[in-house]
Amino acid sequence: MYTQGAMISSGEQHWAICGVTQRSRNVLDALEPQDGLYGVLSRGQDTSVEVMAPLRELLFARTQATELLDRIATASTHVVSLTVTEKAYRHDPISGRLNVDDAEIRADAAGRPPLTVVGQLVRGLQLRQQRGGEPVTVVCCDNLTHNGATLRQLVDDFAAMLPTVERAPLTTWIADSARFPSTMVDRIVPATTEADRADAGELLQFDDLGTVVAEPFSQWVVEDDFGTPRPAWERAGAIFTADVGPYETAKLRLVNGSQSALAYLGVLAGYEHVAQFMAVEGVATYLEAMMDDEAALTLPLPDGFDVAAYIGQLMERFANPGLRHRLAQIAMDGSQKLPPRLLATIRDRLLAGGPQPRLSMLAVAAWMRYVSARVDDSGRPVDVDDPLGAVFAARLAGASTPAAIVDRLVGIRVIFGDLGEDPQFRRLLTLALADLTKSGALACVRDAVT
């Protein structure tokens, strides 16, 4: 969308995108017969659709690794951007380092056509270096802390697994010729439903198989660190800045932290969508208090950033009734999401020593209830979809009391780090989990703010 906007307003028509999917062909199957065109359906006060046309090539990484590496290595490719979700980086969210024991990472490093994202990226960069080494800019768009620097570290960690003859020239070239700006992307994009496709089809008078549904709001903040040409994204509203950090922290802790809190509490309370749960008495009050009294106090705010206005706007975004954003979609992969979204706020507030961050703790306790009980408050099963799912099951075996559950889960260092050893943290979580177990999520949410 930003590339299309940049091309239109700058008149630079020579840009094009090669779109790559990782795990399934579904999007490719939808887009190929449409020549890569698709509609973005914006749902707010009004519903509108805009056709996107900058995709010129489509690749399926799983079966077209050679083509993918070739595309990354081609001199006329200037930017490689990634939006692949947190877990696809196969890293430890606390240390920010690559999981070098991961079997797929090891297999990629041993030389097969790569199947992991980091493996594909490094092998593509390596081919580029071998072919003459034109500079390249790698733009991470996922919700990771310091996403550019983090990805750069993962690339180095992977390169360190290669034989010296390969590693030395590669790492020298990366240091000289590759840039990894950090970015912060904010737009709520629920999974597309049949109803979305039908509405887009009506507006377009075309049966669009590739419809993407989104809220009207959109923000992209990009670190101004490119060693290559790039589309004039600022002409389409992207904000270029020397330091994305403050925007990113605000987004992860306010937007994503709130969404994860809504997800676990809302799923337990038996709701399906964000806006539905937001409309339940007490929920909006809880959420706003969590942002105002806890998350917002930990933020290094960007200059001129009006946090009250940001939170106000966010409350409206979450309440958008047109957007059927499923709580279960947000609840998945909690092991990857909790550290930057909720645990970072809790850690900072506990360190600061003021009032305890009870509202954020309630959200973490809700996650614990969700992964341990695996049923909602009325006993209906909930699906726990997480790359650490097997670790949860093994740790939780035989744990039945809130104290035992907390004890087992906070010991997972890749999620909690040393916070798990903090007695105050454990005590507060145990109390919150006991309340959730006894009274249910909705009662706890209401109690928390009365």
What SS3 class is residue 46?
coil
Nearer to ligand CS2, 89 or 425 (CB): 89
- How would you class 354 by CB atoms within 10 Å of its CB: exposed for 0-12, middle for 13-18, buried for 19 or more? exposed
Tokens of 234: 């600022």
Nearer to ligand CS2, 108 or 186 (CB): 186
Least distance from ligand CS2 to the Cβ atom of residue 297, Å: 21
* DSSP characters over 295-344: GGGG--PPTT--HHHHHHHHHHHHH-TT---BHHHHHTTHHHHHIIIIIH
What is the C-alpha separation between 204 and 326, in angstroms, rounded?
25
Closest CA to 326 of 401, 402, 262, 387: 262
Least distance from ligand CS2 to the Cβ atom of residue 308, Å: 20
Size of the chain in residues: 450
Least distance from ligand CS2 to the Cβ atom of residue 151, Å: 17
Least distance from ligand CS2 to the Cβ atom of residue 317, Å: 9
Least distance from ligand CS2 to the Cβ atom of residue 256, Å: 5
Nearer to ligand CS2, 159 or 222 (CB): 222
What is the C-alpha separation between 40 and 43, in angstroms, rounded?
10
Least distance from ligand CS2 to the Cβ atom of residue 218, Å: 9
Question: Residues of 255-276 as b/e, b for ≥16 C-beta within 10 angstroms?
Answer: bbbbbbbbbbbbbbbbbebbbb
- What are the residues binding ligand CS2 (CB under 6 A)? 143, 186-188, 255-256, 259, 329-330, 337
Closest CA to 329 of 195, 189, 198: 189
Closest CA to 189 of 146, 225, 221, 219: 219
- Those residues with Cβ within 8 angstroms of residue 112's Cβ, 6 or more apart along the chain or in another chain: none
Nearer to ligand CS2, 68 or 238 (CB): 238
Least distance from ligand CS2 to the Cβ atom of residue 221, Å: 12
Chain mean position to CA 444: 27
Q: Are 7 and 235 in contact (CB under 8 A)?
A: no
What is the C-alpha separation between 139 and 161, in angstroms, rounded?
23
Nearer to ligand CS2, 22 or 329 (CB): 329
What is the C-alpha separation between 232 and 10, in angstroms, rounded?
7
Tokens of 395: 């740790």
Q: Are 152 and 171 in contact (CB under 8 A)?
A: no
Nearer to ligand CS2, 206 or 217 (CB): 217
Least distance from ligand CS2 to the Cβ atom of residue 114, Å: 26
Tokens of 183: 């970015």
Closest CA to 93 of 146, 22, 155, 156: 146
Nearer to ligand CS2, 120 or 143 (CB): 143
Nearer to ligand CS2, 133 or 334 (CB): 334
Nearer to ligand CS2, 187 or 426 (CB): 187
Q: Are 450 and 386 in contact (CB under 8 A)?
A: no
- Those residues with Cβ within 8 angstroms of residue 262's Cβ, 6 or more apart along the chain or in another chain: 274, 277, 278, 283, 287, 318, 327, 330
Chain mean position to CA 112: 28
Least distance from ligand CS2 to the Cβ atom of residue 332, Å: 7
Least distance from ligand CS2 to the Cβ atom of residue 148, Å: 17
Least distance from ligand CS2 to the Cβ atom of residue 375, Å: 22
